[in-house]
Amino acid sequence: MSCTAPGHPRLPGRPRNQRPDEPEDPRHFWLRQVKPLLRKHVTPFFLFSLRPLQWRLARADRALQGIPVKHWWSAKTLTLPPLWQWWRKEGRGIEVVSEFELRAALAEGFTPEAILVNGPAKQDWLPGFERCGLRVNLDSPAEAAVLLPLAAKYKWQLGLRLAPGVCRSADSRARPGQFGMSLPELREVLRRARRIGIEPEVLHFHLGTQIPSADWYAAALEEAATLCHQLHWHPQVVDCGGGWPLDGALDPTNRPLARGFSIPAFAQALQRARKSFAHLKEFWLENGRWLAAPAGVLVVRVRDLKTRGTVRYAICDGGRTLHGMVSTWERHDLVVLPERAGRRVPTIVTGPTCMTFDVLAEAGLPRGLRAGDHLIWMHAGAYNLSWETRFSHGLAPVLWHDGRVVQQVRPRESFDQWYGRWMPAPADPPKPRSG
Ligand X SMILES: Cc1ncc(COP(=O)(O)O)c(C=O)c1O
Q: Shortest gap between Cβ of 205 and ligand X (angstroms)? A: 9
Give yes or no for a cis peptide into 294 (omega within 30° of 0).
no
Q: How would you class 94 by CB atoms within 10 Å of its CB: exposed for 0-12, middle for 13-18, buried for 19 or more? A: buried
Q: Shortest gap between Cβ of 211 and ligand X (angstroms)? A: 8
218 vs 285, which CB is nearer to ligand X?
A: 285
Which window, 108-116, 287-295, 398-406, 419-427, contacts ligand X (CB under 6 A)? 287-295
Which window, 45-53, 146-154, 283-291, 297-305, contacts ligand X (CB under 6 A)? 283-291
Q: Shortest gap between Cβ of 100 and ligand X (angstroms)? A: 16
45 vs 46, which CB is nearer to ligand X?
A: 46
| 235-254 residues near ligand X, rule: CB under 6 A | 241-244
138 vs 345, which CB is nearer to ligand X?
A: 138
Which window, 10-18, 54-62, 284-292, 301-309, contacts ligand X (CB under 6 A)? 284-292
Residues 6+ away with beta carbon under 8 Å from 406: 33, 37, 47, 399, 400
Q: What mask of x and - would describe binding to ligand X in positions 92 to 131, judged by CB under 6 A?
A: --------------------------x-------------
Q: What is the 3-state secondary structure (H, E, C) of the chain?
A: CEECCCCCCCCCCCCCCCCCCCCCCHHHHHHHHHHHHCCCCCCCEEEEEHHHHHHHHHHHHHHCCCCCEEEEEECCCCCCHHHHHHHHHCCCEEEECCHHHHHHHHHCCCCHHHEEECCCCHHHCHHHCCCCCCEEEECCHHHHHHHHHHHHHHCCEEEEEECCCHHHHCCCCCCCCCCCECHHHHHHHHHHHHHCCCCCCEEECCCCCCCCCHHHHHHHHHHHHHHHHHHCCCCCEEECCCCCCCCCCECCCCCECCCCCCHHHHHHHHHHHHCCCCCCCEEEECCCHHHHHHHEEEEEEEEEEEEECCEEEEEECCCHHHHCHHHHCCECCEEEECCCCCCEEEEEEECCCCCCCCEEEEEEEECCCCCCCEEEECCCCCCCCCCCCCCCCCCCCEEEECCCCEEEEECCCCHHHHHCCCCCCCCCCCCCCCC
The residue type found at 300 is V
| 349-378 residues near ligand X, rule: CB under 6 A | none
| 74-93 residues near ligand X, rule: CB under 6 A | 74, 77
The site that binds ligand X (CB under 6 A) totals a number of residues, namely 14
Q: Shortest gap between Cβ of 413 and ligand X (angstroms)? A: 26
| 167-206 residues near ligand X, rule: CB under 6 A | 206
22 vs 101, which CB is nearer to ligand X?
A: 101
- Residue whose C-alpha is closest to residue 162's, from 195, 214, 112, 200: 200
Measure the CA–CA gap between 118 and 342, rounded to whole angstroms. Answer: 50
The answer to whether the beta carbons of residues 361 and 2 sit under 8 Å apart is: no
117 vs 228, which CB is nearer to ligand X?
A: 117
Which residue minimizes CB distance to ligand X? 242
224 vs 316, which CB is nearer to ligand X?
A: 224
Q: Shortest gap between Cβ of 41 and ligand X (angstroms)? A: 28
Q: Shortest gap between Cβ of 77 and ligand X (angstroms)? A: 5
Q: Shortest gap between Cβ of 366 and ligand X (angstroms)? A: 33
29 vs 290, which CB is nearer to ligand X?
A: 290
Q: Shortest gap between Cβ of 240 and ligand X (angstroms)? A: 9
Q: Shortest gap between Cβ of 164 and ligand X (angstroms)? A: 13
Residue from the set 286, 333, 358, 388 that interacts with ligand X by CB under 6 A: 286
77 vs 327, which CB is nearer to ligand X?
A: 77
Q: Shortest gap between Cβ of 179 and ligand X (angstroms)? A: 7
Residue from the set 289, 320, 332, 374 that interacts with ligand X by CB under 6 A: 289
Site membership for ligand X, residue 43 (CB under 6 A)? no
Which window, 15-23, 248-256, 288-296, 360-368, contacts ligand X (CB under 6 A)? 288-296
Measure the CA–CA gap between 417 and 421, rounded to whole angstroms. Answer: 6
Site residues for ligand X per CB under 6 A: 74, 77, 118, 206, 209, 241-244, 286-290
